[in-house]
Structure 1
Amino acid sequence: MTDLAPHELRVLVAVAEEQGFTAAAARLDSSQSAVSHAVRACERKLGAVLFERGRHGARPTEAGERAVVYARRILRLLAVMGPEVRATGAGDRAGEVTGTLRIAAFRSVAAHLLPPVLARLTARHPGLTPRVRIVREIGRGTAGEVADGRADLGLATLDPAAPPPVPGLVAARLFEETYALAHPAGHPAPRGLPLVDWDENCGSYTRDWWDRQDWIPPSTIDVEDDTVAVSLVSQGLGMAIMPRTALLGAPPGLAVTGLGPNPPSRCVGYVTTPELAGTAAVRALIRELRELRGRALPEGLTAA
């Protein structure tokens, strides 16, 4: 098999993300015929049909989805190769970290724990540019973004008793956070209130505890985002059982009460790929994340 060239990898990614040859050509400042020719060349070299063509554009086949994941990850390695090599032979500037660092994180961690980490990271490495994407921690979540080549490192919820949420990734635990009861301030019996729940809540690591609680009613309000749940509770519309990071910076009118001596908890850590784990930018971010564990953490969070 003849190897795919970098421009062919870029075409595969563009067609998959734009869902069509014409839109991909515009993105790549190329022609539709050139994009079509490149896709056919990739299919010939790989020996598989990569896209289903139709009136509605082009959709990756199962083989195409796999090829696009490899394409993204290879292109990322090509992008970091230059900074990595230059830093190795930089003399007095050895150790300087430059370039772009792509981070995927779920909302509460991105809002409350990541900012001080990135502030210290960029102060130490002014040539480094972090880019953060907020990803809902549902299904493959942030780990899927890393595995699919869209992020260099993901801050993810990890099950301590299970391997990484997506096979083939490197994972490490950072924090453990407990859950607490959020309810309207001053309410005399918050456990009797209706339940406000949100889509990312109650993972496998809390389900056993949840199932043992006969006082928790079925949810009466389901929302997509934890900030909406917090806002509804603060307005007196019910109570919610939430991890501590989601309750940081809670609005007036909301109180937080513990769930007893053995509350449920979840582990927060990071995931990356084996090939990016050794790059300077990812190593620098991991160092800052680990150093955060040695500083004063908010109530309900402990170093894992």
Structure 2
Amino acid sequence: MTAVDLAPQELRILVAVADEGGFSAAAARLGTTQSAVSHAVRGIERKLGAVLFERGRFGARPTAAGERAAAHARRVLRMLQVLAADVRGAHTGEIAGPLRIAAFRSAALHLLPAALERLRAGHPGIEVSVSVVRELGAGTAGEVAEGRADLAIATLNGPPQAGLVGGVLLQEPYSLVHPAGHPDPRGLPLVDWAENCGSYTRAWWAAQDWIPAATVSAEDDGAVLSMVGSGLGMAIMPALSLTGAPSAVEITDLGPARPYRGVGYVTTPELAATDAVRALIRTLRSLGRTTPERTKAQLRAL
């Protein structure tokens, strides 16, 4: 197979068109002309031997091949940035540069802050940005696969998807959450949100004949807690979502057969070897060893 030689500027054009959804918007982002972008994309398509964008009045929509190409392009461009940061680090002995993290809501609220505080203390030159991503579909790991994030905090029930690497940091127990002092919490309607029930809870959930179908659906776990506290129903929720739960709700252990949710990190093999990502993984692992006991103590105190 003939090697394909794409210049970094071609990769930037490819990503800009995919991100912006059109040649004109991509040209404005890159400070060039629409005709130059269109010409470059045709050249990239000839080199790759595939149509990367569907053209139309709607703009330029990536084909399946275009989505794959854009993901690879983002990751290659990111590695060029990391190359410079790591080389400077080898010279100065300091770890610095941007670090992009994708996390689902409860992890961003209750797991990441302590890790980032410790990371900043040890490596003040690392510039962290965090995106909160719903853990649906491709979820946070998809942000890494697409080249939009360097590391994801993801729910894990086994190895990451092909092409990614990662590890479990902690196992969150699920608990019954209900209005404080309610005499029959299991008789209440169920309040739930779309991200809650994954493969790690589905079998357990199906075996519980006391759990009804959800009659109230909320946008996220924070809204669920608010609704439960207002007396609208009960919920089955993982421990991170219950950190700092309001006094209006009560948390009841589901017993020894309760389900757990694995929470871990996901990155790419190439980024896993870079200084900033390695520093973050070390920090997350050190916190992950203590988080389960800390979470249990928090739950006992509620």
Tell me, in whole angstroms, the C-alpha distance in 1 between the residues paired with 2:179 and 2:88: 56
Unpaired segments of 5 or more residues in structure 2? none
- Residues 189 and 2 of structure 1: CA distance in aligned 2, closer, same or farther (over 3 Å): closer
Q: Which amino acid aligns with 1:157?
A: T
Aligned partner of 1:85 in structure 2 is 87
1:223 counterpart (215, 218, 222): 218
Does the CA contact (< 8 Å) of 2:119 and 2:280 recur in 1?
A: yes
Q: Is the 8 A contact 1:227 1:246 kept in 2?
A: yes
Name the SS for the 1:133 alignment partner.
strand
Cα deviation code 1:160-182 (max 9, x no counterpart): xx331x21111111100100011
Q: Counterpart of 2:73?
A: 71
Counterpart for residue 292 of structure 1: 287
For residue 163 of structure 1, what is the amino acid of its counterpart?
P
1:163 aligned onto 2:165: no
User: How far apart are the structure 2 equivalents of 1:79 and 1:33?
Assistant: 28
Question: Displacement of 1:222 after TM fit?
Answer: 1.2
Q: Which moved more, 1:106-115 or 1:289-298?
A: 289-298
Q: Return the alpha-carbon distance in structure 2 between the equivalents of residues 97 and 288 of structure 1.
A: 14
Aligned to 1:182: 177
The match for 1:105 is 103
Aligned twin of 1:191: 186
Report the alpha carbon displacement of residue 2 of structure 1 after superposing the two structures with TM: 4.7
Contact 1:177 1:300 in 2 (8 A): no
In the alignment, what sits opposite 2:147?
149
Which stretches of structure 1, 4 residues or more, deviate above 3 A after TM superposition?
Answer: none
Residue aligning to 2:265: 270
* 1:3-40 CA-partner distances (Å, limit 9, x unpaired): 11101101111101100000111111111111111111
- The 3-state SS of whatever aligns with 1:163 is coil
The structure 2 residue matched to 1:253, chosen from 248, 256, 260, is 248
Secondary structure of 2:294's counterpart equals: coil
Q: Deviations over 1:85-126 (max 9, x none)?
A: 1222x2xx32x1110000011000110011010011011111
Q: Among all aligned residue pairs of Structure 1 and Structure 2, give the percentage whose two residues are the same amino acid.
A: 64
Aligned residue pair count: 294
State the match for 2:276 in structure 1.
281
What do the CA deviations read for 1:258-281 (whole angstroms, capped 9, x no partner)?
112221111111111000000000
Q: CA deviation at 1:130?
A: 0.7
Q: In the alignment, is the contact (CA less than 8 A) between 1:180 and 1:244 conserved in 2?
A: yes
Question: What are structure 1's unaligned runs of at least 5 residues?
Answer: none
In the other structure, the counterpart of 1:203 is: 198
Looking at structure 1, the residues matched to 289 and 138 of structure 2 have their Cα atoms a distance apart, in angstroms, of 29
Provide the C-alpha distance between the structure 2 equivalents of 1:149 and 1:261, rounded to a whole number of angstroms: 40
Q: Which of residues 30, 33, 37 in structure 2 aligns to 1:31?
A: 33
Could you say what the CA RMSD is over the residues aligned between the two structures, in angstroms?
A: 1.3
Letter in 1 for 2:17: V
Partner of 1:243: 238
Work out the CA distance in 2 between the residues paired with 1:49 and 1:247.
48
Match of 1:123 in 2: 121
Quote the offset at 1:138 in angstroms: 1.1
Distance 1:246 1:211 in 2: 22
Would you say the 8 A contact 2:177–2:249 is kept in 1?
Answer: yes
| Secondary structure at the counterpart of residue 154 of structure 1 | strand
Once the two structures are TM-superposed, the CA of residue 300 in structure 1 deviates from its matched residue by 7.5
User: Within 1, Cα distance between the matches of 2:170 and 2:40?
Assistant: 46
Aligned-partner Cα distance in 2 for 1:293–1:71: 33
Relative to structure 1, is the Cα distance of residues 26 and 205 closer, same or farther in structure 2, using a 3 angstrom cutoff? Answer: same
CA distance in 1, matches of 2:186, 2:223: 20
Q: CA deviation at 1:58?
A: 0.3
Amino acid at match of 2:126: L
Q: 1:246-269: CA deviations, max 9, x gaps?
A: 011112311111112221111111
Q: TM-score, normalised by structure 1?
A: 0.94
Q: Which has the higher helix share?
A: 2
**Matches of 2:288 and 2:166 in 1, distance apart?**
16
